[in-house]
Structure formats: structure tokens, C-alpha cells
Amino acid sequence: MAKRAKTRTEGKAYEVKNWNEYNESLVRRGDVTLWLEEDVLIGWEHENLETKVGQPYTYSDTAIRCLLSLREVFGLTYRQTEGFGRSLVKLMGAEVKIPDYTSLQKRAAKIEISLSVKPTKGPRDIVVDSTGLKVYGEGEWKARKHGVSKRRTWRKLHVGIDPETGEIIAELLTENDQHDGDQVDGILAQVEEPIVNFYGDGAYDQPKVYDRLEWEATEPIIPPRKNAMLWQHGNSSQPRLPRDEALREIRRTGRRSWKVQAGYHTRILVETTMYRLKAIFGGKLTSRKLCNQRTEARLRCQILNQFTQLGMPLVQWN
């Protein structure tokens, strides 16, 4: 039997080099003053500079985003968010009113959420993947023991992260029947900077994905599927396809060797991001309407970005 080759980190230990700063950033994640700064209170009321059908808004988008962020951080319902907001401004002595829970729910369906990504001067890389978020239905234990019933509904959260900073730079929430490859256009459209490398798993091994990446002048780091065939004959006069070149390299040196050479293992960073999202906010969406669920998911990504910007561990392998 052939002896399995060791991976880069197998048998090694790692050490966090900035533990004091990282520990302080973890503590600061529970500081509610992060969400109720002075500029938030100043802009609490809506200016209504644009005309709209119906009654003018009373509360600004900043106020609504603030309360919805508190709702996600503390896992509250809309009614509980209203009560939490009332008690918080009372403790702070702030002379502002809190919107009722129905207003929060209606505004959440339409409000725009920025991911609050640190600006960069140069191009970026992007690592993409998707995960499931449950809407309603049985838990994991019941599904494993008795099978999955029809009343079990999920949404798919598609995210793209910058491997250099760990921030989520693009996000989409879709119904569970949407394929990962169909969301590439929407993911890339959210990134303003040029993208050098695109890291994705075999679900993105589709012609339309490669066509879009070629149009973006982006290098695909996508493993062809195990039963993949060449799309273009080697004697063709057309330019070589990156996907076919990757497949030829895999046939020559093996899939494991190609992944190491291409840097494909960078994709593990998006798995870490998915874990952080679910560890902090759970794996379930509390809203029932898709429009509210999209706001809920995007707020979670935005808050996770703020946590990331507070501090992340610097790891050294020994």
C-alpha cells in the first residue's frame, strides 16, 4: 500500500503571536457601545429629503440598521428588539424614540446593508462557497434518526471572502434550489476592485463560470470534477483553456499535488468564515419572508466583518 504524503500542517503545532490584542478584540465584541455611538444618535430621525408614496419615514436608515444589528447580535425577536432598544436608550439617557416592532419588520425588508469592507488600493483575490441556513423544520438529531420530512426548509448563503483580510466582500442569499455556479455573476458584481484569483470547489466547474472569469480577466482556481473530460482538443488552434490545463496537470501529477501547486487550500478560509458565522449567530434564520431573510443574512455578514476588523489571530506554525 502506498504511503500517504503529509500535508503542509500535519504534525505541526501553531502559536497565536498576538494573543493579548486578539483576546481584547474578543472582549470588545460584547461591547454594546459598538452599536450606539454618538453619530448614530445624532442621525436617529429621518431627514426625508426624497418624496415617497405614503407617510414619511420617522426613523433614519441608521437607526433601523442599529436596532436590527442589536437583534442579530443578541438573538432577539422584533418585539424583544423594541423592548431592548427602549431600555438601552433609557439607561443611556438618550432623548430618542424607538420604532415599534412592525415598523422594524417592514423597514428590514427594504433597507440596504453595506458589508463595511476595508478599502484597498490594489486588486483582490476571492474565495467563494455556500452553506445552508434553516428556516423551519426538525433539528439535526430528528432528521438523522427519523429522516427528513417535507416541512424542512433551508436557504443557501453564498459568500465570497478576501483571503488576505478574512472579510466577507460579497454575499447572496437564495432559495435552496439555486446552484452555486448561477450566483457567480451576482457575487463578482459586488466587488469593485479587480479580482486576480477566484477560488471555488467543484460546484463551480461550469462553462458559464469560466466564461465570466475570462471576461473579468480572473484566474480560476477550481478543481475539475473527478469524472471530468477535456472541453477542447489538444490540437485545437484556439487558446488553451485554464480548466483543461488544470485537468491535464491533475492527470500528470495527481489531484493532491495540483491543489498544493495551485494554492487551492486557500479555500479552507471560507469554511472557517462559515463556521464563525454559525458559531456566533447560529444556523437558523428567524424571519419568515425571503426579503427579510436576505437583510438578516447580510447583517450577520456585516457584523462579522466588524468583528474581524476588531482583531484576528496571527498564527505561526512551529
Asked if 141 contacts 253 with a C-beta cutoff of 8 angstroms, the reply is no
Q: Is 174 helix (H, G, I), strand (E, B) or coil?
A: strand
C-beta of residue 78 within 8 angstroms of C-beta of residue 104: yes
Q: C-alpha distances in angstroms, 51 versus 47, 56, 60?
A: 11, 8, 14
Tens-digit pLDDT string for the chain (318 aa): 444 444 455 556 668 888 888 898 888 888 777 666 777 777 788 776 666 666 677 888 888 998 999 999 899 999 999 999 999 888 888 888 899 999 999 999 999 999 989 888 889 999 999 999 998 776 666 666 677 666 668 899 999 999 999 999 999 999 988 999 999 999 999 999 999 999 999 999 999 999 999 999 999 999 998 888 888 887 777 888 889 899 999 999 999 999 999 999 999 999 999 999 999 999 999 998 999 999 999 999 999 999 998 888 877 666
pTM of this prediction? 0.85
278 vs 183: CA distance, rounded Å = 21
- Compute the radius of gyration of the chain from its Cα atoms: 23
Pairwise CA distance, residues 277 & 272, whole Å: 9
Distance CA 203, CA 180 (A): 6
Q: Where are the domains of the chain?
A: 19-108, 124-310
